[in-house]
Structure formats: C-alpha cells, structure tokens
Amino acid sequence: EDQVTQSPEALRLQEGESSSLNCSYTVSGLRGLFWYRQDPGKGPEFLFTLYSAGEEKEKERLKATLTKKESFLHITAPKPEDSATYLCAVQATTKAAGNKLTFGGGTRVLVKP
C-alpha cells in the first residue's frame, strides 16, 4: 500500500529563518511526487511535480528536491505570506489510471514577522 509521511507536523519560523520540510514515501513505483500549498479555508494549490531522484524545482523562496525515499521542501528566508499548510502527494505507476494521488498529513508552517 502506498504511504506518505510528512514531518514535522507543525513548524514555527521567524521571518528569514530558513528550514526544510520532509516527505517520506513508500510506493510500488513512483510516477510523480507532488507538492501543494493550502491556505486556511481554501483548497490545495499546486506547487511542483518531481519525477525522478535527483530532480529539483524552484519557485520564489521554495525549492523541492527528490530522492528514492523522500522529498524535501526547502523554504529560504521565509516571509509571513509563506505561512500555510504544505501537502505532499505521490502518484504510483500502478495507480496511473485516473492519475490518483495519495496524500500525506501535511506540515503547518507559521512564519512570524
């Protein structure tokens, strides 16, 4: 069974204090690993897709990396507007039909000014 575990559950940062979020996964065959951002009371918003170990993607202060067992979301010099819950999800090759995703529990990030 596909599993996704995110850590930590919650993260409090000072503005400018860089940190990393972890997403560990077990999947029969990885088709893609997805990162989403979710603001309170809203639906998840797509950030990145990673497909193979060693791949990296960046968007503003966010950088996502991928290994064979985990992914990291690095937040560099965060600002208060980066406060959100960050969700990780995997898509397995065996479940490619319908592009189904298995989500982790998320990491709630709070950036204080």
**Least separation, in Å, of the C-beta of 77 and another protein?**
26
Q: Which of residues 34-53 bind another protein (CB under 8 A)?
A: 34, 36, 41-46, 49, 51
For 104, the 3-state DSSP assignment is coil
Binding mask 53-92 for another protein (x = CB under 8 A): ----------------------------------x-x-x-
Q: Distance between the two ends of the chain, CA-based, in angstroms?
A: 41
How many residues belong to the site for another protein (CB under 8 A)?
26
DSSP β-ladder status, 19-26 and 70-75: antiparallel
* Residue 88 · residue 34 · CB < 8 Å: yes
C-alpha R_g of the chain: 14
103 binds another protein (CB under 8 A): yes
Closer residue to another protein, CB minimum distance, 17 or 55: 55
Closer residue to another protein, CB minimum distance, 34 or 111: 34
Concatenating the DSSP letter of every residue in 41-81 gives TS--EEEEEE-STT-EEEETTEEEEE-SSEEEEEE-S--GG
Point out which residues bind another protein (CB under 8 A). 4, 6, 9, 32, 34, 36, 41-46, 49, 51, 87, 89, 91, 97-101, 103-106
